[in-house]
Every structure is written in C-alpha cells, then in structure tokens.
C-alpha cells in the first residue's frame, strides 16, 4: 500500500464518504517533522492494508485543514465512516501513529 495524495476538491468523496477507515496526514513540503513522519507512515501503510492512507498538502489545499481546525503540522486524523475518531498534532513517532490506528478497529 502507498500513501496517496488528496486535494480539497476530492476530500469529501475520498474521506467523508469512504466505507473504509482513512488516515489523513496534513503536511507541507517545508515542514521538518512532516519529513520525519513520511517513512514511518509509508511503513505503516503497508502493515495496515485495511486502512487507506492519504496526505494533503495544506499549502496547496488550505480549505479542508481550516474546516477541521488543523492549526499545526504535521497533524494526522483517522476517519471511520466519515467521522473523525482520532487525531495527533505534531510528530510523536511510530508509537503515536500506531495508537491512533488502533481506533480503526
């Protein structure tokens, strides 16, 4: 599995209307902690095939981040049946991501 990019225009159909759990990484290219998170999220995406991993560049797609109150990056949010069930603000390492992903069960 890989992490796919999503835009503000696609967010509704790919996240809110999804029947599978969706893990979204809100990031920007200039964000150092976002770069640290990327290989860990890539690894987790291969270990958890029942969850779809998406990333949204907040510089290019600010609307959805604003709607969801994303004030700092990286912020990762887990959605299940179109609703937020977990959120992590900042980079807390692999264990932090794994803790949120457990909420998809």
Catalytic residue among 31, 37, 65, 78: 31
User: CB within 8 A of 13, min separation 6: which ones?
Assistant: none
Do 35 and 47 meet the contact criterion of CB atoms below 8 Å apart? no
**Given 22, 34, 37, 41, which residue is catalytic?**
34
Known catalytic residue at 34: yes
Residues 6+ apart with CB under 8 A from 22: 14, 15, 51, 52, 53, 54, 78, 79, 80
Is 90 catalytic? The answer is: no
Q: In angstroms, rounded to a whole number, what is the distance separating the alpha carbons of residues 30 and 87?
A: 21
Catalytic residues: 31, 34
């Amino acid at each position: 599995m890989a992490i796919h990019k999503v835009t503000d225009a696609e967010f509704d159909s790919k996240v809110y209307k999804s029947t599978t759990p969706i893990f979204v990484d809100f990031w920007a290219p200039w964000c150092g902690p976002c770069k640290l998170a990327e290989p860990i999220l890539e690894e987790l995406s291969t270990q958890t095939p029942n969850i779809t991993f998406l990333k949204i560049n907040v510089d290019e797609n600010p609307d959805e981040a604003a709607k969801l109150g994303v004030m700092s990056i990286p912020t990762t949010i887990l959605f299940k049946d179109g609703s937020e069930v977990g959120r992590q603000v900042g980079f807390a390492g692999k264990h932090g991501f794994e803790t949120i992903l457990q909420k998809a069960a």
